[in-house]
Amino acid sequence: MDLSPDAQAAPVPEVRNRWRRVWQALAVLLIVLVGLYVYQYVTKGAFWKSTFESYVSKRAGRPVRVAGDFQLYLDPNIRFRAEGLTIANPDWAEKDQFFAAESINLDASLWQAIFGDVTINDLAVDGGQLALQRRADRSNTWTFGGGALDIPDIIRAAVTNSRLTLIDAPTATRLDMTFNDIAGTAASGGQRIDGPLAFAGTGTTRGAPFRLDGRLTTPNQAAAGGRLGLDLVGTIARTRITIAGTLPGATRIDGADLRITMAGRNFQDPGRLFGIILPATRPYRLAANLTKANREFRFTNLTGRIGDSDIAGTLTATLAETAKDRFRIDGKLNSKALDIKDVGPLIGYDPVKLEAGQSIVKQVSGRPRLLPDAPLAIETLGKFDARIDYRARVVRTGKLPFDNLRLVLGLDDKLLTLSPFAFDIAGGRLIAKIDINARTLPVRTGYDVRLTQIPLGKVLNGFNVEDAGTTASIRGRLQLKGTGDTVHKSLASANGRIALVVPTGMLWVRNIELAEVDLQNFLTALIGKTLKDKRLINCGIVAFTVTNGRAVADPIIIDTNKAVFRGRGGFSFGDESLAMSLEGDSKQFSLFSGQSPIKVNGYFADPSINPISAELLGRGAAAVTLGLVATPLAAIAAFIDLGDAKDVNCTPILAAKRDTASNRAANAKPTR
């Protein structure tokens, strides 16, 4: 081995040359980089435009273009500016561009871009427009074919002159919304948006125009993924809706704490937007707290008014678990005072006429019609199930005292039941069960109404008649079954029985002020001209057999200590005509000798009571039905469940002699 000094010194120049070449290369590279930096700084990186469009288009899976000025350079942070930036929508979308902005300016950290995630220090967007659209098959414009675009962290941002449009086929909704200017910052782990985010919009949904104005009251929490404060006012379908409170997140409602207020002319207006025919109402204003848990939307602390009635309680709407299931509504509601006018729309009367104080009577073929004829919303009944328990302490009628109303409404796949439907009336109680079966057509309706012992004295007081000691009472039952999708149709086709029984009691009337219904003439003719005299009612029966909507007296008999009164004829639910008469047979010599029958004619909406003196009947002909009562009375007693047989003293009637001619007269069809 050569260890001479010359041999050891030989590699040194070669090493030095190698390092010299490295430094020369680095110098050249540095000069190039400096040159490139100077070039990109001078040109503002405009030459990156096509590269930027190509890269972002590939990531988005759709064309991205910059129509105007483009800048992408280092200063020393990343500086970006684009004028006329657009991100295309799919070909099927109505709007060509998913996103468009007149200008975008941002400043991003170069250091974090090299060694970590991109962080935008400043972002300014002016004239931004976002177009969202969803088709009937639920495909949408915001799902990108190239995968989701990463949105970097933003420290400071300002958005001006921004707009959003939404076209949603499943809900037939079109929305055009504008936003007030937005400015915010995020630093040291915290985020802050200056002031609430205000917005306003107009559009249509299911053919109905709407407008909304609102603001996000907690934009900073929302930006951090926290709770979203919302203050919203909207008008749609003649309904004003306000929403105030918080959501758990921008796209979450479970655990929401919202107060919702609705005010409008009629429940049916907003209901039609969702294909649900809700009950008709007079003008209303309701407010409730709304929250959601799993599939349940819970409306608690519900308060408000419908027409002249107050209402309070809770409602829960449970969404269907599968597409084949129906959603369900459960609720407990109550009123301190229910105005009888507010019940009218629920059974088919026009709420507009009720609100205006107009007559609810219609003219049909020249005849007045009182029974409502609004059709039942059959298809809606199949969309949801329900159970609503409603109570009202007082029912304001203006005449009779009604109170302690209880109504349980049940709906099970087009079978609607009102059971019980009960209330106190003048000291007695009415208890009804109504079944409306729309599972098959035509709709079948069953009515079963019972009257417990109702004091006549309190009834007379309700009509400004001084009872002065009346002790008589009324019991009764109505049991009918009919077909048809309106109240009028179901009764016009009904078959069944109606019966009222007056057990023994005193009738003592001293003051009558109802000339408009001829009550004074009626009672004068019925019990004599001296109204101050007492009349003991031994027994009274007013019964009808109903066939195809036509009711025939079967029988009508009132036995007093002075006379026996009998009625014949009947009425029709079809044309609502009345054709009855009542005549008396005195128990005292010549007191009612030659007494004319009292005619009851006209219509439900326009009755007339006429004692006709020219039509005198003989005493023998007046006793037409006494012998026929034994079998009908027995049927009536079982029909209305009289309870204590001692209360009914019908011995004089039961002991009467049978007369076949009278049988034919009592069961004759009504005559006009």
Indicate the helix (H) or strand (E) that contains 269.
Answer: helix 268-273
How far apart, in Å, do the first and last CA atoms of the chain sit? 149
Render pLDDT for 636-650 as a digit per residue (tens, 0 to 9): 445 554 444 334 445
Choose between 429 and 467: higher pLDDT: 429
| Confidence at 458, pLDDT banded by 50, 70, 90 | confident
Predicted pLDDT at 510: 53
Predicted pLDDT at 461: 67
Predicted pLDDT at 633: 46
Q: Which two tokens stand for residue 151?
A: 């949105």
Render pLDDT for 317-328 as a digit per residue (tens, 0 to 9): 998 877 677 889
* CA gap 485, 495 in Å, rounded: 16
Indicate the helix (H) or strand (E) that contains 110.
Answer: helix 110-115
Q: How many CB atoms lie within 10 A of CB 242?
A: 15
Mean pLDDT, rounded, for 609-619: 42
Predicted pLDDT at 142: 82
Amino acid found at 372: P
Predicted pLDDT at 104: 93
Mean pLDDT is highest, among 35-39, 86-90, 363-367, for 86-90
| Confidence at 293, pLDDT banded by 50, 70, 90 | confident
| Confidence at 278, pLDDT banded by 50, 70, 90 | confident
Least confident range from 232-246, 277-291, 394-408, 509-523: namely 509-523
* CA gap 552, 575 in Å, rounded: 15
Q: Check whether 11 has a pLDDT greater than 80.
A: no
Dihedral over alpha carbons 42, 45, 49, 54 (to 10 degrees): 160
| Those residues with Cβ within 8 angstroms of residue 314's Cβ, 6 or more apart along the chain or in another chain | 298, 299, 300, 301, 302, 331, 332, 333
Q: What is the CA angle 486-491-462, rounded to 5?
A: 100
Pairing of strands 384-396, 402-412: antiparallel
Percent of the chain with pLDDT over 90: 29
Q: Check whether 420 has a pLDDT greater than 60.
A: yes
DSSP, res 622? H
Predicted pLDDT at 450: 92
Q: Check whether 368 has a pLDDT greater than 80.
A: yes
| Confidence at 26, pLDDT banded by 50, 70, 90 | confident
H helical segments located in 274-373: 351-356
Predicted pLDDT at 53: 92
Predicted pLDDT at 360: 73
Q: Whose structure tokens read 């208890």?
A: 431
Mean pLDDT, rounded, for 591-619: 59
| Confidence at 275, pLDDT banded by 50, 70, 90 | low
Predicted pLDDT at 216: 73
Side-chain half-sphere CA neighbours of 150 within 13 A: 6
Pairing of strands 129-134, 309-318: unpaired
Predicted pLDDT at 38: 79
Instruction: Examine residue 632 and say whether the peptide bond preceding it is cis (omega within 30 degrees of 0).
Output: no
Q: Check whether 423 has a pLDDT greater than 60.
A: yes
Predicted pLDDT at 345: 77
Predicted pLDDT at 446: 94
Pairing of strands 415-425, 428-437: antiparallel
Least confident range from 163-177, 238-252, 461-475: namely 461-475
Predicted pLDDT at 557: 85
Indicate the helix (H) or strand (E) that contains 353.
Answer: helix 351-356
Q: Which two tokens stand for residue 608?
A: 């007339």
For the purposes of burial, counting CB atoms within 10 Å of the CB of 58, is it exposed (0-12), middle (13-18) or buried (19 or more)?
exposed
Mean pLDDT, rounded, for 605-622: 49
Render pLDDT for 539-594 as a digit per residue (tens, 0 to 9): 788 899 999 999 999 888 888 777 777 889 999 999 999 998 887 776 654 433 33
Mean pLDDT, rounded, for 339-360: 76
* CA gap 561, 170 in Å, rounded: 74
Percent of the chain with pLDDT over 70: 72
Q: Check whether 670 has a pLDDT greater than 60.
A: no
Q: What is the pTM of this model?
A: 0.71
Which residue(s) pair with 124 in the sheet?
105, 158
Render pLDDT for 485-497 as a digit per residue (tens, 0 to 9): 888 999 999 999 9
Render pLDDT for 128-166 as a digit per residue (tens, 0 to 9): 999 999 998 888 888 876 554 556 677 777 888 999 999
Which residue(s) pair with 78 in the sheet?
74, 108
Q: Check whether 622 has a pLDDT greater than 50.
A: no
pLDDT, the chain, mean? 76
* CA gap 331, 317 in Å, rounded: 9
Q: Check whether 668 has a pLDDT greater than 50.
A: no
Mean pLDDT, rounded, for 2-21: 64
> Strands, DSSP E only, in 62-135?
64-66, 70-74, 78-88, 97-108, 119-126, 129-134
* CA gap 256, 240 in Å, rounded: 21
Q: Which two tokens stand for residue 104?
A: 């975008």
Least confident range from 7-21, 232-246, 249-263, 351-365: namely 7-21
Render pLDDT for 41-76 as a digit per residue (tens, 0 to 9): 888 888 889 999 998 888 888 899 999 999 988 888
Dihedral over alpha carbons 537, 538, 542, 545 (to 10 degrees): 180
